[in-house]
Amino acid sequence: MQSQPTPVLTIGTRGSPLALAQAHEVRERLCTAHGLDPRAITIRVIKTSGDAIQDKPLSLVGGKGLFTREIEEQLLSGALDLAVHSAKDMPTRLPDGLMLSAFLEREDVRDAFLSLIAKSPDHLPERAVIGTSSLRRAAQMKRFRPDFSIVPFRGNVQTRLQKLADNVADATLLALAGLNRLGESHRATQILDTKKFPPAPAQGAICIETRSDDEATNRLVAALDHRETRQKVEAERGFLESLDGSCRTPIAALSRLDEGKLTLFGQLLSPDGKQAFEDEISGDADAGLALGRQLGESLKTEAGEDFLADLKRG
C-alpha cells in the first residue's frame, strides 16, 4: 500500500460550498506552483460564528469578524498554517501577528440579480420584495427603486432559490464571482452594471491569511500573489478602513488600473438609499492604500458628522 505523504501545510476554511471551493483552488495552485502532492496539504473546516448565526442580520451581531474570528484563533495557535477567505469578508484590522500574504487573481466583481418572476430589477412589480442581508445591496436597490421592500436573506445558492420559490422575496442578489466558482452562473437572471450597482470593497477576490513570522509558509504562498489584484484590493480596503467600514455601513468601492495608474471609485450610502456620496481618486498603483484612505476622508467630510453618527447608531 502506498503511504500517504506527510502533510506540509494545513489550510483553514469555512465549510460552505463556496468556501471549500476557494480552499481547494488555493491547494491546487500551491501544488502546481511547488510540485506538491495534493494529499500533502490538508484542508480543515472551521465553523465560524457567522455560519452558526443564520437568523439575524450580521450588522446586529458583530459584522465581518464573525466569518474570520475562529479561523484566526486556530491560525494564531499554530493549528493552521494558512487561512483562505473571501477578501470582502475580511475586517480592515487584523489580529496582531497575522497578515494577508496573497491575493489570487480577482474574479468578476459584479453582482448577480436572481429572480423567478422578473428578468431585471427594472421589471419587478411595484413594491417588490428584495431579499438581502447586505446593507450595501439594500441601499443601492432602494436608491434605484424607493418602492422596493427589503427582507433579510442569507444562505447558499440553493437555499436562496428555494426562498424565492416559497415567495419569501421576489428577487435576491449574489456576487457573480461566487456563482462562477460554484459553476452556478446560469442561475443569474441578470448581471448588474457596476456603474449603477458598484460592488463591495474587495468583492471577487480570494485572500490568504498567514502568521507574519511564518517565513516558510509565506515563501510558499508568495507564489500565488497577483500584484494587480493586491493593488486594487488594498486601495478598496484603505477606503473601507477610513470610513470605519463594518456591516453597519453601506459602502461600495471599485478600482481600475491603467498603465501603472490606479483609479478608485468610492460610494457611501444611507441605509434607505436616499443619500449617496461618491467620488473618484487617481494616483500611483503602488500607493493604493493611501489613495483609499484619502478618498474615504474626503467622503466623510462631504457627508458630515451627523450622517456618520446616524450610521453608527444603526
In CATH, what number is assigned to the domain containing residue 117? 3.40.190.10
Same domain, yes or no: 68 and 209: yes
Find the CATH number of the domain harbouring 280.
3.30.160.40
Dihedral (Cα; 14, 235, 313, 302), 10-degree rounding: -160
- Give a yes or no: residue 99 inside a domain: yes
Q: Is the pLDDT of residue 16 over 50?
A: yes
Same domain, yes or no: 77 and 220: yes
Mean pLDDT score, 36-63: 73
Q: What separation, in Å, do the N-terminal and C-terminal C-alpha atoms of the chain show?
A: 60
Torsion-angle region of residue 63: left (phi > 0), alpha (psi -120 to 50) or beta?
Answer: left
Same domain, yes or no: 100 and 215: yes
3-state secondary structure of 273: coil
Q: Is the pLDDT of residue 144 over 90?
A: yes
Same domain, yes or no: 209 and 291: no
- Give a yes or no: residue 284 inside a domain: yes
- CB–CB of 111/190 below 8 Å? no
- Give a yes or no: residue 198 inside a domain: no
Same domain, yes or no: 174 and 122: yes
Same domain, yes or no: 98 and 209: yes
Among the three residues 134, 168, 191, which one is the final residue of a domain in this structure?
Answer: 191
Rounded to the nearest 10 degrees, the angle between the axes of helix 305-313 and helix 288-303 is 100
Instruction: Note the pLDDT tens digit of each residue in 235-269.
Output: 999 999 998 755 578 999 999 999 989 999 999 99
Rg (alpha carbons) of the chain, rounded to whole number: 20
Structural domain boundaries enclosing 289: 226-314
Q: Is the pLDDT of residue 63 over 60?
A: no
- Give a yes or no: residue 199 inside a domain: no
- Give a yes or no: residue 196 inside a domain: no
Q: Is the pLDDT of residue 58 over 60?
A: no
Instruction: Note the pLDDT tens digit of each residue in 83-117.
Output: 999 999 899 999 999 999 999 999 999 999 999 99
Among the three residues 191, 213, 248, which one is the final residue of a domain in this structure?
Answer: 191
Over the range 14-47, which residues count as b (16 or more CB within 10 Å of their CB) and which as e?
A: bebebbbbbbbebbebbbeeeebeeebbebebbe
Band of pLDDT at residue 314, cut at 50, 70 and 90: low
Residues 26 and 250: their CA atoms lie apart, in Å, by 30
Same domain, yes or no: 171 and 122: yes
Same domain, yes or no: 136 and 215: no
3-state secondary structure of 55: coil
The per-residue pLDDT for 120 is 97
Same domain, yes or no: 211 and 72: yes
- CB–CB of 211/98 below 8 Å? yes
Instruction: Note the pLDDT tens digit of each residue in 64-81.
Output: 567 788 999 999 999 999
Residue in 286, 222, 279, 218 with CA at minimum distance from that of residue 254: 279
Our answer to whether residue 89 is catalytic in this structure is: yes
Same domain, yes or no: 174 and 75: no
Band of pLDDT at residue 1, cut at 50, 70 and 90: very low
The per-residue pLDDT for 4 is 59
Which helix (H) or strand (E) element contains residue 269?
strand 261-269
Same domain, yes or no: 76 and 216: yes
- Give a yes or no: residue 245 inside a domain: yes
Specify the residue for cell string 447608531.
313
Same domain, yes or no: 302 and 271: yes
Q: Structural domain tally of the chain?
A: 3
- Whole-model pTM: value is 0.92
Which residue in 37, 55, 81, 89 is the catalytic one? 89
Instruction: Calculate what percentage of the chain has a pLDDT beyond 70.
Output: 90
